[in-house]
């Protein structure tokens, strides 16, 4: 296996990407904010067969964090990240500095207007503008032909899809299923913030999702009743504070009342100061596989 190449300068990234392109080498990119887990690594594997060179970016993007969010304490461990990426056969890592990415005179942003304002966007007003802007710039800087994203961030995935369509971006998008811990909790770099008690509470998130998936198939199809059932499960734990539970059309993210087709359920909760999100597809034809070892 060839040694992993780390590029930190924008100029070097562009000239290397141009060189690769000239030689007909198709780059596959997994954009990340680092502190990698199995979910990220599964995305690196998802690139297999879709490109000639697998790359990842590691960049904690300041403009997708709100003023009172966790930018300063976002977990970082670049040495470990590079080892993990190298083991997965990643040949290139782009890890620019915030100063180079956002010089003082930086002023261009991308906004996928309506989709960025619902769900998480109601509580994180500039978040998806920050995501769309950085993802577009990473596509441009790396000249990637294909890029992979996880479906744990379901709204982010739809925003990126819409940006690709609206701006005719010449990149193929791949989306990987959410990778879960044994109790069903979605893997996330932010799980590192949880202490043992909070980690146990977090197991109620997948419990509520598995419950709603089963219930929508066998009994109740009204989203208000299903939401109430999920709230009952989560509210048994005073340490969990629900921010939202929404039932939406998976493509448009518009609210859905009756579950008579495939519907996406998305939620955000706080456990202590940690905000966790998750989602599941429910309704006729949905492809829910039971999470491991869950009972409600
Ligand atoms: O999903 C993430 O880790 C980030 O939002 C992304 C796509 C790398 C953009 O900063």
Q: For residues 226 and 215, is the Cβ–Cβ distance under 8 A?
A: yes
**Which domains are assigned to the chain?**
5-176 (3.40.50.620), 189-282 (3.30.1300.10)
Mean pLDDT of the 14-29 span: 98
- Residue 216: how many CA atoms within 13 Å on its side-chain side? 32
Average pLDDT, the chain: 96
Of 11, 40, 50, 168, the catalytic one is 40
Tokens at 4, concatenated: 């992993």
DSSP state letter for 180: B
In this structure, the chain runs to a length of: 296
**Residue 153 Cα: closest atom of ligand 1:** 1
Q: Whole-angstrom Cα distance, residue 60 to residue 34?
A: 7
Closest C-alpha residue for ligand 1 atom 2: 32
Closest C-alpha residue for ligand 1 atom 5: 131
Q: Is the pLDDT of residue 295 over 50?
A: no
Share of the chain above pLDDT 90, in %: 93
Q: For residues 82 and 93, is the Cβ–Cβ distance under 8 A?
A: yes
**Residue 131 Cα: closest atom of ligand 1:** 9
Which of the listed residues 30, 32, 154, 158 should we mutate to test ligand 1's pocket, taking the one with most ligand atoms within 8 A of CB?
32
Q: Between the CA of residue 126 and those of 66, 67, 108, 133, what are the distances in Å?
A: 7, 10, 14, 11
Q: Whole-angstrom Cα distance, residue 92 to residue 199?
A: 34
Tokens at 277, concatenated: 């999100």
Strand 240-248 with 263-271, pairing = antiparallel
Ligand 1: residues within 6 Å at CB? 31-33, 61, 64, 131, 134-135, 153, 156
**Residue 189 Cα: closest atom of ligand 1:** 3
Whether 50 is catalytic: no
- Residue 44: how many CA atoms within 13 Å on its side-chain side? 24
Positive/negative CA dihedral, 102, 122, 132, 29: positive
- pLDDT single digits (tens) 40-96: 999 999 999 999 999 999 999 999 999 999 999 999 999 999 999 999 999 999 999
Q: Whole-angstrom Cα distance, residue 18 to residue 271?
A: 45
Measured CA angle at 257 (ends 255, 261), to 5 deg: 90
Tell me how far the alpha carbon of residue 153 lies from the centroid of ligand 1, in angstroms.
9
Which bin fits 253, alpha (ψ -120 to 50), beta or left (φ > 0)?
Answer: left
Q: Tell me the pTM.
A: 0.96
């Amino acid at each position: 296996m060839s040694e992993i190449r780390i590029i930190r300068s924008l100029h070097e990234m562009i000239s290397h990407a141009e060189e690769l392109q000239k030689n007909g080498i198709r780059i596959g990119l997994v954009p990340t904010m680092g502190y990698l887990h199995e979910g990220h690594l599964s995305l690196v594997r998802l690139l297999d067969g879709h490109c000639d060179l697998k790359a990842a970016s590691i960049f904690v993007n300041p403009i997708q964090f709100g003023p009172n969010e966790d930018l300063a304490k976002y977990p970082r461990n670049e040495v470990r990240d590079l080892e993990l990426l190298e083991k997965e056969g990643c040949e290139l890592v782009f890890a620019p500095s915030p100063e180079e990415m956002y010089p003082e005179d930086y002023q261009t942003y991308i906004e996928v207007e309506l989709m960025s304002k619902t769900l998480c966007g109601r509580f994180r007003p500039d978040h998806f503008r920050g995501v769309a802007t950085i993802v577009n710039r990473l596509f441009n800087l790396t000249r990637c032909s294909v890029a992979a994203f996880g479906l744990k961030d379901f709204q982010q995935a739809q925003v990126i899809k819409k940006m690709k369509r609206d701006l005719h971006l010449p990149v193929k998008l791949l989306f990987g299923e959410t990778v879960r811990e044994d109790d069903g909790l979605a893997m996330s770099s932010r799980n590192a913030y949880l202490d043992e008690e909070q980690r146990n509470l977090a197991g109620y998130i997948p419990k509520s999702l598995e419950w709603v998936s089963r219930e929508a198939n066998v009994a109740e199809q009204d989203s208000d009743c299903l939401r109430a059932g999920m709230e009952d499960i989560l509210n048994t734990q005073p340490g969990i504070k629900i921010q939202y539970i929404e039932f939406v059309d998976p493509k448009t993210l518009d609210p859905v009342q009756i579950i008579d087709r495939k519907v996406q359920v998305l939620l955000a909760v706080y456990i202590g100061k940690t905000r966790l999100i998750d989602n599941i597809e429910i309704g006729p034809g949905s492809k829910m596989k039971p999470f491991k070892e869950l009972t409600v």
